[in-house]
Amino acid sequence: MFVKTKKTKEAITGYVFLLPNIIGFITFVLLPVLISLFLSFTSYDLFGDTDSVAEFMKKYFIGFKNIYKLLFQFDADGYATSNILCFWNYLGDKCLWYFLGNTLYFMLMIPIGMAVSLALALAMNQKLKGIVVFRTIYFLPVISSMVACAILWRWIYNPEYGLLNGILQILGVAKENLPQWLSSTLWAKPAIMLMLIWKSAGYNMLLYLAALQGINQELYEAGDVDGATSFDKFWNITLPMLRPVNFFIIIMSIIGGLQMFGEIYVMTGGGPGDSTTTIVYYIYQNAFVWFRMGYAAALSWVLFVMIFSATWIQWKYLGQKFEI
Amino acid sequence: MAEYYKSLKTQEILKKIFSYLFLIAGSILMLAPIVWTISTSLKEEGSTQTLPPEWTPRVMLRVMYNGKLLQVMQSKSTGEIYLLIKKEKEGYTVRKIKSQLNVSYFSLIRETEKMEFRLVKDKSRSLGKTYLIIQDFETTDSRAISIAQLDELKSLTGGIPDKFTVLTVKPLPVFELDNETVSDPLDLKPKKVMWFRWRNYKEAWGVAPFGRMYINSIMVSLAITFGVLFTSSLAAYSFARINFPGRDKLFLLYLGTMMIPFPVTMIPTFIIIEKLGWMDTFYALIVPGLFSTYGVFMLRQFFMTIPKELEEAAIIDGCSRFGIYWRIFLPLSLPALATLGIFTFIGTYNDFMGPLIYLKTESKYTLPVGLSYFQGQYHSQTAYMMAASMIVLAPMIIVYVFGQRFFVRGIVMTGLKG
C-alpha cells in the first residue's frame, strides 16, 4: 500500500514537472501537426468562418484532391511559372517540381561548404597561436542576422557598383561579361549559395575542429612509425575518424537546406523568374499570399516526406555502415 | 636519423606557415563583406557608387574661393592639384594650386543641426597648420566644404568660432594660385578627402524606429529564452529522473516531432494564433516559442550524466523533488543551460518568419522584420541601408566578441550530442 502511494505520488510529481512544457507541446506542436494533416484534405482559405464542424466539412473538405492535384494534375490558376519545357510538365504541380529542382540545386553547396570548413579546421588544428582570433572571425557570420547578411550581400552583388563586380573588373573581366548576379536566372542561385557558404562555414569548421581534436594522437604516431606520408595519414586516419561528424553535418545541412526561406525572401523574393523559389518559399506564398491554406498544408507534408526519407536513407545506409 | 628529424621539423614549420597564410586569406574573405558594409555605411550617398570600389569613405573636396564654391581637381599624370574654374567644351579652365593641400587629420569640434565643424591638419607644410572645415547640411550640395585658416579666424573671433561668427567671417583662401590655364578633362579627376559620415547612422535611426525595435527584439528574445530554460529544464528533469507511466513513449513522441519541418506546423499555428486573437501582438511570437522540444532533449541528455548518489543523498535529507531540481540539477548544469540560453536568444533575436507572419503594426516590429521593411522603402539609398544593417548586426557582434568562449563551447556541445 505504502509502495503504491509512493509510486502514485512520484508519477504525479513527474506530470506536474512536465506540465508547463507539455501544454505548449500539445498546443503548438502536436495539435498543429494534426490540424495540418487534416487541412491537407481541405481547401481552407482562412476566410469564411463556419459554425459547425459539419458545415466546415461540407464547405472545405475535398479529400485527396490536393494530393491528386499536386502529383497528377494542377492548373496553376493565374500563377504562371517560367516556360519550363521538361518532363515535369507532365507531373502535376509543375511549380512544385521546378522548385524542388531549385532546392536540390541549392544543396550542391553542402559538399562545397563542407570541404571549405574541413580545410579551415585542418589549418586551425596545427596548434597555431592566435587561434581565438581566427575562430572569432570565422564564426562571426554564423551569429549574424540572416536578414542583415542578405541585405549586405545584395549590395555586394549589385551588378553595377557592387564589390564583387568591381573586383572582377579590376581582374580584367570585360564590362559586358560581368554576371548580373541576383538579377540573372543563371547566377542568382550560385550567388545565394556563395553567401550561405560564407555564413555557415564557421559553424561546420568548429564541429570539424572539435572532432579533429578528439582523434587519438597515437594513431598518427603509429602511422609515423609505419612511414606513412601526410596524405596517407589524412586519407586513412583523419577522414575515417571524421565520419560521425560528417554524418551529422550532412543530415543537418540537408534538413536545413530543404527548409531555406529567409535568405530567399530578402535577397531575391524567389526571382528572377522563379529561379530561386524554394519549396518553403512556395509554401509561404501559397499560405500567406494566396491564402490557399489547404494546399499549402498538403505541400508541407510532401516536404516532410522528403526530409524524412532523406534522413532515413542516410541513417539506414550511411549511419549503419559507420556504426553510429 | 638526426637529419630525418630535422626535415620533419622543417616540414612542420612549412605546414604552420602554410596554415597561417590560408587562415589569413580566409579571414580576409570572411571579413570583407562586413568591412565593406561598414565602409559603405559611412559614405555619402553620392559616393557609394564608385568604380573601382573604394574601401575608405571619401568625399570630393570643394573649397570657397572668392565667394564661389569650386571643385578641387587632381591631374592623373602629374598629381598636381588644380582649382576648377569653369567647364567648357574645349577643356576645363583651371588654376593650379601652388602650395599643395594634404589633408590628413579630422576631429569633430562642434555639430549643430545644420552644420558640422571639423579641425584639419595640413601635413604638407612643415608647420602643420590647422584649418577648419565647415560642412553645411542645408545647401543643396551637401559636399560643400569651406576651409579657413584657423589662426586667422581665431584672431578675428577670439577663440573657436560658433556657427554665427563663422558665417559672418568671409572664408579665406588657404593657397596660392597660378594663372588660369586650360586643361584636358580626361587628365583631371576630383580630389577626394577621407570623410566618415557618421550622420548616416543618426539619420537611418531617425527614419525608422530602431530604438523601439531594439526594445521589442530584446524583450521578446529574453522572454522566450527564460521561458524555454524554465519549461525545458523542468520537463527534462522529469524525463531524466522521475518514473511515471508512459514516460519513455512520451519522450519518443517528443523526439519524433523534432523531425517535423517548421512549414508543417506553421500554417495551423497561424490559424491557432488567429483564433486566440493574438494576431499583431507579442503573444504570437513569445508563447509558441516557449516550448522547445530540442531544449528538453538536450537538457535531458545532460541531466542523465549527473550522478544519482547526489540525488539520493538529498532525498534522505528530506529534500523535495523541486528542491533537488532547483538546488542540485540547475546549478550543476549551468554550462548546458548557458548554451541552450545563448542559442535560443540568437535564434529568436534573428528570427524572421514569425514576426513577418504575425506582426502588422510598425511599432511592434522586431529588428529583422523592421530591417526588411526598411529595405523595401530605402533600397535605393545604399548608405542608409548599410547603416541600418550595422545597427542590427552590431549588438550581436559585440556580445559575441566578448562572450565567444560560451558560444564556441555551446556549438561543440550541441554538435556532438545532438
Q: What is the DSSP string of B231-292?
A: HHHHHHHHHHH---TTHHHHHHHHHHHTTS-HHHHHHHHHHHHHHHT-TTSHHHHHHHHT--
Beta strand residue intervals within B1-60, DSSP E: 58-60
Give B 220-259 residues with CB within 8 A of chain A.
230-232, 234-235, 237-239, 242-245, 247, 250, 253-254, 257, 259
- CB neighbour class for B119 (10 Å; exposed up to 12, middle 13-18, buried from 19): middle
Chains A–B, number of C-beta pairs less than 8 Å apart: 280
What confidence tens digit (pLDDT) does each residue in A46-63 have?
A: 776 676 777 777 777 777
Residue A103 one-letter amino acid: T
> Which residues, listed in sequence order, are joined to residue B95 by a DSSP beta bridge?
B83, B180
Shortest Cα–Cα distance, A251 to chain B (Å): 11
ipTM of the complex: 0.82
Best residue of A13, A17, A42, A278 to probe chain B, by most B CBs closer than 10 Å: A17
The crossing angle, in degrees rounded to 10, of helices A94-106 and A293-313 is 40
Cell numbers that stand for B71 in this block: 571643385
DSSP notation for A115-173 = HHHHHHHHHHTTT-TTHHHHHHHHHHHHHS-HHHHHHHHHHHT-TTT-HHHHHHHHTT-
Higher pLDDT, B52 or B277: B277
Closest residue in A to B264 (Cα–Cα)? A300
Q: In the predicted model, is pLDDT for residue B43 greater than 60?
A: yes
Q: Are strands B188-190 and B103-111 parallel, antiparallel or unpaired?
A: unpaired
Residue numbers in B near A145 (CB within 8 A): 349-350, 352, 367-368, 371, 392-393, 396
Distance of CA B220 to the CA centre of its chain: 20
User: Do you find a cis peptide bond into B52, omega within 30 degrees of 0?
Assistant: yes
B318: left (phi over 0), alpha (psi -120 to 50) or beta: left
Q: State the Cα–Cα distance between residues B377 and B362, nearest whole angstrom.
A: 13
pLDDT at B386: 92
Whether residue B353 contacts residue A149, with contact meaning beta carbons closer than 8 Å, is answered with no
In a 3-state reduction of DSSP, which class is residue B58?
strand
Answer yes or no: is pLDDT of B175 > 80.
no
pLDDT digits (tens, 9 = 90+) for B281-307: 999 999 998 888 888 988 888 888 888
Subunit contact B263:A136, Cβ cutoff 8 A: no
Question: Which residue in the block uniquely carries the three cell numbers 564590362?
Answer: A175
The whole-angstrom separation of Cα B415 and Cα A202 is 13
Please report, for residues A38, A92, A271, the alpha-carbon distance to residue A295 in angstroms, rounded to integers and kept in the order given: 11, 13, 22
What pLDDT does B307 receive?
86
Q: Which of A25, A148, A203 is the closest to B392 by Cβ?
A: A148
> Residue A199: which of A267, A131, A132 has the closest Cα?
A267
Q: Does B26 touch chain A (CB under 8 A)?
A: yes
pLDDT of residue B157: 47
B 288-307: CB under 8 A from A: 288, 290-291, 293, 296
Contacts of A163 in chain B (CB under 8 A): 32-33, 36, 53
Contacts of A12 in chain B (CB under 8 A): 244
Q: Tell me B71's DSSP state.
A: E
Which phi and psi angles does B46 have, rounded to 5°? -65, -25
- Confidence band, pLDDT 50/70/90 cuts, at residue B97: confident
For residue A266, pLDDT beyond 80: yes
CA-based nearest distance A86→chain B, Å: 28
What mean pLDDT do residues A10-29 have?
89
Average pLDDT across chain A, whole number: 83
A135 touches chain B (CB under 8 A): yes
Smallest Cα distance from B43 to chain A, Å: 14
pLDDT tens, A184-225? 888 999 999 999 999 999 989 988 988 888 888 888 888 888
Q: Which residues pair with B149 in a beta bridge?
A: B131
Quick one: pLDDT at residue A240? 87
Confidence of residue B216 (pLDDT cuts 50, 70, 90): very high
Q: How far is it, in rounded angstroms, from Cα B205 to Cα B240? A: 48
A49 and B CB contact within 8 Å: no
Q: Is the pLDDT of residue B176 over 70?
A: no
Tens-place pLDDT, residues A98-132: 888 889 999 999 999 999 999 999 998 888 888 88
For residue A148, which of B196, B205, B219, B370 has the smallest C-alpha distance?
B370
Residue B208 DSSP class: T
Q: Write the DSSP symbol of residue A75.
A: -
User: Is residue B313 within 8 angstroms of chain A, CB to CB?
Assistant: no
- Per 3-state DSSP, chain A is made up of helix, strand and coil in percentages (nearest 5) of 70, 0, 30
pLDDT at residue B140, as a whole number: 36
Q: What are the chain B neighbours of A259 within 8 Å (beta carbons)?
A: 261-263
- Cell numbers 495539435 correspond to A31
For residue range B2-30, list pLDDT tens digits in order. Answer: 666 677 788 888 888 988 999 999 999 99
Q: What percentage of chain B's residues is helix, strand, coil (to nearest 5)?
A: 60, 15, 25
The whole-chain average pLDDT of chain B stands at: 78
- Which phi and psi angles does B246 have, rounded to 5°? 80, 10
pLDDT at B1: 58
CB-based contact A148 B418, cutoff 8 Å? no
Burial of A321 (0-12, 13-18, 19+ CB in 10 A): exposed
Distances in Å between the alpha carbon of A306 and those of A251, A279, A311, A317? Answer: 13, 11, 9, 16
Of chain A, the percentage scoring pLDDT greater than 70 comes to 88
Say what the pLDDT of residue A48 is.
66
Higher pLDDT, A1 or A159: A159
**CA-CA-CA-CA torsion for B294, B297, B301, B306, nearest 10 degrees?**
100
Write the pLDDT tens digit of every residue in A63-96: 777 777 777 664 544 344 434 444 444 455 667 7
Q: Which amino acid is at A41?
A: F
In this structure, are residues B53 and A163 in contact, taking their beta carbons and an 8 Å threshold? Answer: yes
Cell of A196: 550561405
Which pLDDT value is given to residue A243? 85
| Spatial distance between the Cα atoms of A138 and B30, rounded to a whole number of angstroms | 6
Q: Output phi, psi for B86, to 5 deg.
A: -150, 145
Within 10 A of B96 (CB to CB), how many other CB atoms are there?
19
Minimal CA separation from A309 to chain B, in Å = 11
What's the rounded Cα separation, in Å, for the pair A20 and A65?
A: 39
> Beta partners for B414?
none
pLDDT at A92: 58
- Rounded to a whole number, what is the distance in Å from the CA of A258 to chain B's nearest CA? 9
Whether B13 contacts chain A with CB within 8 A: no
Torsion sign, CA atoms B162, B164, B169, B172: positive
* Band of residue B390 on the pLDDT scale cut at 50, 70, 90: very high
Read out DSSP for A158-215? -TTT-HHHHHHHHTT--GGGS--GGGSTTTHHHHHHHHHHHHHHHHHHHHHHHHHHTS
User: What is the C-alpha to C-alpha distance for residues B136 and A169, in angstroms, rounded to an integer?
Assistant: 36
Instruction: For residue B83, name the pLDDT band (cuts at 50, 70, 90).
Output: confident
Q: Which residues of B touch A137 (CB under 8 A)?
A: 27, 30-31
Which amino acid is present at B266?
M
Task: Return the C-alpha cell found at B165.
Answer: 561668427
Whether A163 sits inside 8 A of B53 (CB atoms) is yes
Cell of B150: 584657423
A322 pLDDT above the threshold of 70 = no
Torsion of CA A34, A35, A41, A43, to 10 degrees: -170
Q: Would you call B371 and A153 a contact, using CB atoms and an 8 Å cutoff?
A: no
Contact B267, B347 (CB under 8 A): no
pLDDT tens-digit series, residues B152-172: 555 544 444 444 333 333 344
Name the DSSP letter for residue B318.
T
Within 8 A of A128 by CB-CB distance, chain B residues are: 16, 19-20, 23
Whether pLDDT at B115 is above 50: yes
- pLDDT tens digits along B124-160: 444 445 555 555 555 433 333 445 555 555 554 444 4
Q: Which among A22, A148, A156 has CB closest to B371?
A: A148
Strand positions, DSSP E, B33-139 = 58-60, 62-65, 68-75, 81-87, 92-97, 103-111, 115-122, 130-136
Q: At what angle do helices A188-213 and A109-124 cross, to 10 degrees?
A: 40
Give the DSSP H/E element, type plus range, for residue B193: strand B192-194
C-alpha dihedral sign at A17, A23, A24, A30? positive
Q: List all residues of chain B from 322 to 361 with a beta carbon under 8 Å from chain A.
A: 325, 346, 349-350, 352-353, 356-357
Q: For residues B356 and B347, what is the distance between their CA atoms, to the nearest angstrom?
A: 15
Q: What DSSP state is assigned to residue A242?
A: T
SS3 B230: helix
Residue type, B15: K
More confident residue, A80 or A160: A160
Flag whether residue B404 sits within 8 Å of chain A, measured between CB atoms. Answer: yes
Residue B290 is nearest to which of A24, A201, A252, comparing CB atoms?
A: A24
Determine which of A33-37, A224-228, B223-227 has the lowest per-residue pLDDT on average: A224-228
The grid coordinates listed for B263 are: 512549414
Which grid cell is A82?
Answer: 517560367
C-alpha cell at A320: 549503419
Q: What are the cell numbers at A279? A: 519549396
User: Where is average pLDDT lowest: A264-268, B58-62, B71-75, B230-234?
Assistant: B58-62
Q: Does B416 touch chain A (CB under 8 A)?
A: yes
Query: What residue of A is the nearest CA neighbor of B246?
Result: A11
Contact A235, B237 (CB under 8 A): no
Contacts of A311 (CB under 8 A, 6+ apart): A251, A254, A255, B259
The confidence score (pLDDT) of residue B104 equals 42
